[in-house]
Structure formats: structure tokens, C-alpha cells
């Protein structure tokens, strides 16, 4: 058991970190999702007109993570609100906007974060995922 009362093996660490300067103090917080990280960051910025904040996938995370987001309701016509794939490398600082696998650039406050499998996928983002060569079948040829 850990300090939260959960078995240590089932509790997963939060993959995202939010850091900033708010009211003259350095701040840092962990976040379980991009939505939580962005909410924390925007809260800090709203609390102090001179605040600065960024978020990132932890430097010690074992590898890249792909998150899914689309334009938030009211920022684009429904037909243009497809789900984009945003590849994140550990330690890469995120602020202002993010660029999807297809090249679309969305401002952070205008992104609606989605769970896996939600939303109409962006075909151009999927092309990058589907570029992997077809696996070789055992005993067969490519």
C-alpha cells in the first residue's frame, strides 16, 4: 500500500507536469490528462495577470504519448471538428498551441480533449499512423 491507501502496483503516476510563476511564486503540479493540465494552467493565468505557465509530458516518462483533441464547441463548424492526434515527446514544453500529426495547429484554450475512440478521426492524422509497413505473416512473404 502507498500513502493514498491504494496498492502500489495499481496506482499510476500522473504523466503531465504544469509549471509556472503565479503571484511571484514558482508553482508546479502533476496532472493525469491534458485537460487537467490545461485547466490548471488556465486557472493560474486567470488568477494573476502577470502569471506564466506551461505544461509537458514528464521527462522521465518511458516514451512518446499521443493525445487526442479537436476544436472546442463554438470555435469551428461541426463538420470541421475532427479528432486530431497530437504526438508528445517526454520533456517537450507545451504552451500557446499544439500541432497535430496532420499539421493542423490548434490553440490550447480551443482544444476539447477526447478519450480514445471518441470523435470523427482526422484522415490526414490517421495516414501517419497507417504508414507502418504491413507485418510479415509467419511462413509467408510480405
Kindly report, residue by residue over 95-118, the tens digit of the pLDDT: 889 999 899 999 988 999 998 888
Cell numbers 514558482 correspond to what residue?
A: 26
Whether residue 64 lies inside any domain: the answer is: yes
Structural domain of 101: 16-129
Whether residue 9 lies inside any domain: the answer is: no
CB 91 within 8 A of CB 16: no
Helical (H) or strand (E) element with 123: helix 123-129
Distance (Å, whole) CA 105 – CA 14: 25
Domain count, the chain: 1
Q: How confident is the model at residue 128 (pLDDT cuts 50, 70, 90)?
A: low
Return the sign of the alpha-carbon dihedral for residues 23, 24, 25, 28. Answer: positive
Whether residue 74 lies inside any domain: the answer is: yes
Report the percentage of the chain scoring pLDDT > 70.
81
Whether residue 115 lies inside any domain: the answer is: yes
Phi, psi of 111 (to 5 degrees): -105, 130
pLDDT, mean of residues 52-70: 92
Amino acid at each position: 500500500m502507498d500513502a493514498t491507501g491504494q496498492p502500489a502496483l495499481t496506482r499510476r503516476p500522473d504523466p503531465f507536469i504544469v509549471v509556472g510563476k503565479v503571484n511571484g511564486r514558482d508553482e508546479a503540479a502533476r496532472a493525469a490528462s491534458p485537460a487537467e493540465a490545461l485547466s490548471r494552467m488556465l486557472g493560474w493565468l486567470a488568477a494573476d495577470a502577470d502569471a506564466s505557465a506551461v505544461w509537458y509530458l514528464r521527462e522521465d516518462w518511458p516514451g512518446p504519448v499521443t493525445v487526442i483533441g479537436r476544436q472546442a464547441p463554438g470555435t469551428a463548424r461541426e463538420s470541421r471538428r475532427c479528432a486530431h492526434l497530437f504526438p508528445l515527446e517526454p520533456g517537450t514544453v507545451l504552451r500557446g498551441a499544439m500541432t497535430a500529426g496532420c499539421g493542423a495547429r490548434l490553440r490550447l484554450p480551443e482544444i476539447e480533449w477526447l478519450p480514445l475512440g471518441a470523435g470523427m478521426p482526422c484522415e490526414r492524422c490517421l495516414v501517419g499512423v497507417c504508414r507502418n509497413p504491413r507485418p510479415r505473416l509467419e511462413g509467408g512473404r510480405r
